[in-house]
Each structure stands twice: as C-alpha cells, then as structure tokens.
C-alpha cells in the first residue's frame, strides 16, 4: 500500500515536473495549522515532506503564518517553525493577513502558481481555494500520515490541454514541426554516422583480402627475385586450386587424400619451375 502510494505520487509529480516545470528542491509553503498538528503528534514535518515527495525540499513559512503561531503561543510549534525559511509576503506584520489570504496572495499570481509552490496545509478552506489554481500540489496530514492530494481538476485540465497541443503542434504548424524533425534528423544522422563508421571500420580492410595481398606481395618479391612472371601465375593458380580443394575437403572427407597429393604436386611444380628458370638464366 505504501509503495503503491509512493508510485502514484511519483507519477503525479512527473506531471508537475513536465506540465508546470517544478524542479527540485521543491519549495513548500507550510501553514500555521500543519506546524501545530505535526508538533502535537511529534511528526517530523521536513522529513515527512521529503518522504512524501521523494525529493529534496525547501520548507518555508510566511510572516503572517508565523504571526498566527505567535498568537496561539505554542512555543514548541514556534521553535519548530523557526527552523523553516521565512517567506516574505510584504504584509504589514502589525496587521497580518489571515494564513489563507497570505498563502493565496503568494501562490495565486494572476491565476498561476508562478513560484511553483507546493502547499502543505491542514486548512480545508485553503486547499479548496488553491485547487482552482492549476499546478498547485497540495499536501496535508491525515491521521499522522502525510497525504498528497490527487491532481486537481484545474491541474488535470491544463495537463491534458498541453498534451493535446503538443500532439497537434506538429500537425497544424508544418513549419516548426518540419524544422524541428529536420534538425533532429540531422543531429541523429550526425550522431549515427560515427556509430556506423565504428562497425564499418573492421569491415573496410577485409581480413581475407588483406591476406591475399600479403601473399601476392610475397609472390611479387619471389618473382622479382626470379625475374620471371610465369612462376607467379603458376603460384596463383596453385593457391586458388588448393582453396577450392580445401572447401571440398571440409565437405567431402573421402577426397582429402587425393587433394593432398594434388596440392603437393602443385607445390612441387612451383618449386621445380624456378629451378628450371635459374638454369635458363644461366
């Protein structure tokens, strides 16, 4: 159950990440009530948030929420809240706003969660209000378990619209869509080309052809030494002949004896000829 919840939270946070551009460390606005609740149940608020959001968090409290805690006078809760970063709301400290008004003023900026805050609040009214603003993750403690609310209708609508626009962007706007894939393709081919060169490299100098060349060069040297081309031709013929026979040799075992004799003959023939040549030269 716990893992299931963690997975669904991770999924939800991916939506906030992609659609609303949330980035770690997440900035979390806590209200006075969640501070007192976690203090009363000795719940580690920061650790709970880290566990629930499975990420690094930056816990913040507004001046007005801090003021609300001072009014209650719960010293433990105050000292707990003092550990958090203070979010300046620029409301008059002598005439503080209610936590709801204060949090709404910093989260809802022209109907957008501009600063990408996650709000951790025990106040149902605050959460109800913030559900209308797309892209506001809401967290609260329920029976000493920290819970993240499912994606609000407003958030889900924006997320869906963005997905659809992404889909149709490529179909309706041919210019940007064509340019972008072309760039991607070019980069892809560029990235692919060196990759293809890698495997082609060993293919280029065919090991079989390289061996042949070496033999030819040796033969050339021999022929140059002997000063006759006919011996080279004989050798080449002999080599090709032996190769053909070797293939047969692998398939037909019975003819192997005769093959060997033939190869011997060819070798002896090549050996015999240079001897004859030397006599000719003399």
Note the residues at the interface with Zn ion (CB under 5 A): 62, 64, 89, 91, 97, 102
Q: Among residues 102 and 151, whose Cβ is nearest to Zn ion?
A: 102
At 164, is the secondary structure helix, strand, or coil?
helix
The least distance separating Zn ion from the CB of residue 106, rounded to whole angstroms, comes to 7
Closer of 97 and 140 to Zn ion (Cβ): 97
Please say which residue, 49 or 64, places its beta carbon nearer to Zn ion.
64
Which helix (H) or strand (E) is 118 found in, with range?
Answer: strand 117-120
Determine what percent of the chain falls in helix, strand and coil, rounding each to the nearest 5: 65, 10, 20
In the complex, least distance from residue 150 CB atom to Zn ion, rounded to whole angstroms? 28
Shortest distance, position 93 Cβ to Zn ion, whole Å: 9
DSSP 109: E
- C-beta of 31 vs 234, nearer to Zn ion: 31
Q: How far is the CB of 192 from Zn ion (least distance, A)?
A: 56
Q: What is the DSSP string of 23-65?
A: -SSEEEEEPHHHHHHHHHTT--HHHHHHHHHTS-EEEEEEHHH
DSSP single-letter state for residue 136: -
Specify the residue, 52 or 121, whose C-beta has the smaller distance to Zn ion: 121
- Least distance in angstroms from the C-beta of 63 to Zn ion: 5
Residue 261, judged by CB atoms within 10 A of its CB (0-12, 13-18, 19+), counts as exposed
Which residues on neighbouring strands pair with residue 87, listed in sequence order? Answer: 62
């Amino acid at each position: 159950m716990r893992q299931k919840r963690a997975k669904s939270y991770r999924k939800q946070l991916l939506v906030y990440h992609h659609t609303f551009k949330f980035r770690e460390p997440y900035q979390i606005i806590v209200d006075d009530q969640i501070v007192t609740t976690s203090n009363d149940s000795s719940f580690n608020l920061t650790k709970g948030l880290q566990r629930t959001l499975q990420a690094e968090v930056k816990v913040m409290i507004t001046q007005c929420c801090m003021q609300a805690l001072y009014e209650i006078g719960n010293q433990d809760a105050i000292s707990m809240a003092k550990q958090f970063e203070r979010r300046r709301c620029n409301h008059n400290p002598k005439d503080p706003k209610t936590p709801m008004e204060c949090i709404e003023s910093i989260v809802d900026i022209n109907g957008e969660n501009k600063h990408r805050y996650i709000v951790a609040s025990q106040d149902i009214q605050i959460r109800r209000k913030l559900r209308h603003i797309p892209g506001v993750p809401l967290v609260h403690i329920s029976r000493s378990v920290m819970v993240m609310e499912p994606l609000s209708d407003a958030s889900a609508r924006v997320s869906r619209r963005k997905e659809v626009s992404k889909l149709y962007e490529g179909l309706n706007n041919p210019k940007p869509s064509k340019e972008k894939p072309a760039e991607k393709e070019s980069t892809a081919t560029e990235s692919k080309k060196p990759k293809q060169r890698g495997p082609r490299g060993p293919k280029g100098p065919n090991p079989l052809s390289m061996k042949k060349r070496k033999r030819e060069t040796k033969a050339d040297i021999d022929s140059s030494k002997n000063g006759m081309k006919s011996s080279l031709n004989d050798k080449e013929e002999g080599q090709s002949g032996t190769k053909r026979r070797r293939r047969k040799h692998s398939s037909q075992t019975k003819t192997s004896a005769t093959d060997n004799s033939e190869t011997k003959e060819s070798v002896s023939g090549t050996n015999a000829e240079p001897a004859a040549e030397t006599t000719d030269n003399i």
